[in-house]
Structure 1
Amino acid sequence: MLDLDPYAALQKLRPVGSFELTSTDFADGEPLPLALRASGQGAGDRSPQLSWSGFPGETQSFTVTCYDPDAPTGSGWWHWAVANLPASVTSLPAGAGEAGGLKLPPGALVLGNESGEHRYAGSAPPAGSGVHRYFFVVTALDVARLDLDPDATPAVLGGRSFPHALARGILVGTAVNPADA
């Protein structure tokens, strides 16, 4: 595991506030349960339940992402990216990341993950790559929606969100390949 926090670098570039992000599925810094693992590692790619509170009153929309900076790629691995959640939405149920975004509110946009699938992809650290951190991040924005191509990448979402970010809620889960446990 690398000792880097990708969001600390953003905070240095443009400081924003923080707010509480929690899950009924796991606690901050704790291992992700099997249900949130990739189907190839004995689970079903279920996205976690997420709830957030304490964000700025001027929030107009949210983004939700899941990023693994410890993937042995040199650039990390995006597991999930959702844009244009209305400010009235303050939680997502478990499984909201299923293909097609059917459990997301109307108008939400699910971008492709690193595998090109428009859904949540569960954790799947390769054997021998150590402990991975999964940064679940909800970002409060000062705009009602971001104009994004449905084929945009999560990195493009981050770039478009950057000047509009008011605050972030961050929740980190961990996972290791079962062969390494």
Structure 2
Amino acid sequence: MDLQRPVPPPPYDQLPPVPSFEVTSRDLIDGAPLGDDFAADGGNVSPHLAWSGFPPQTQSFLVTCFDPDAPTPAGYWHWTVVDLDAAVTELERGEGQSDLTLPGAAFHVRADGGDHAYEGAAPPPGDRPHRYVFAVHALDVDTLELEPETSPTAVSFTALFHTIARGVLTATYQR
């Protein structure tokens, strides 16, 4: 059941350019399909992510997972981790399950499905492969001064003005 809609551009191509840095994973390969463990009807487990090469003036990180191919006018936010300390350079597999598994003062805002946690890939059955854009944003502030009830879109808007570099890893998933 391909929903016959245009393919949106990569989401960060629409924003002011910033320097990039490397994001890697023991669980994901850039451009390759996600494993079922990282899907909503599989294990619903957040993947391992690690990053390096960000600017030395970085004071904190924001980690997000966004599906620009979701059949909505605004895509779908699967994961938003706010206020990761600048000393944190990776999240282990499964650390996105709750705020209790995150390091330091970091916390989740509610994903579009309603949970304060990672929400696995869940494209409509039969739709084309969806892109899951895992982004790590290096910020010039140690906190975005936001609350857990802030929407992922509002987090991204606030972070736009503090992003000094960004690393992206994109995987796909289809049911």
Please say if 1:144 is aligned against 2:132.
Answer: no
Question: What residue is the counterpart of 1:2 in the other structure?
Answer: 7
Q: Structure 2 CA distance, aligned partners of 1:44 and 1:90?
A: 24
How do 1:23-102 and structure 2 match up within 5 A? 23-38=25-40, 41=41, 43-99=42-98, 101-102=99-100
Offset at residue 103 of structure 1 (A): 1.9
The share of aligned pairs that are identical, in percent, is: 48
Question: What residue is the counterpart of 2:3 in the other structure?
Answer: none
TM-score with structure 2 setting the length: 0.94
Once superposed, which parts of structure 1, at least 4 consecutive aligned residues long, lie more than 4 Å away?
none
Question: What residue is the counterpart of 1:20 in the other structure?
Answer: 22
Q: Deviations over 1:120-172 (max 9, x none)?
A: 00001101321100000000000011111220011011011011101000000
TM-score with structure 1 setting the length: 0.91
How do 1:162-173 and structure 2 match up within 5 A? 162-173=160-171
1:173 match: secondary structure: strand
Give the residue type in structure 1 aligned to 2:86: A
Q: Structure 1 CA distance, aligned partners of 2:34 and 2:125?
A: 17
Question: What residue is the counterpart of 1:108 in the other structure?
Answer: 106
Offset at residue 50 of structure 1 (A): 0.3
Q: Structure 2 CA distance, aligned partners of 1:119 and 1:147?
A: 19
Give the residue type in structure 2 aligned to 1:77: Y
1:120 match: secondary structure: coil
Give the residue type in structure 2 aligned to 1:15: P
Change (3 A) 1:35 1:56: same
Q: Structure 1 CA distance, aligned partners of 2:111 and 2:123?
A: 15
Q: Structure 2 CA distance, aligned partners of 1:76 and 1:148?
A: 22
> Structure 1 or 2: larger helix share?
1
RMSD of Structure 2 on Structure 1 (CA): 1.0
8 Å CA contact 1:72–1:129 kept in 2: the answer is no
Question: What residue is the counterpart of 2:131 in the other structure?
Answer: 133
Give the residue type in structure 2 aligned to 1:97: G
Change (3 A) 1:116 1:3: closer
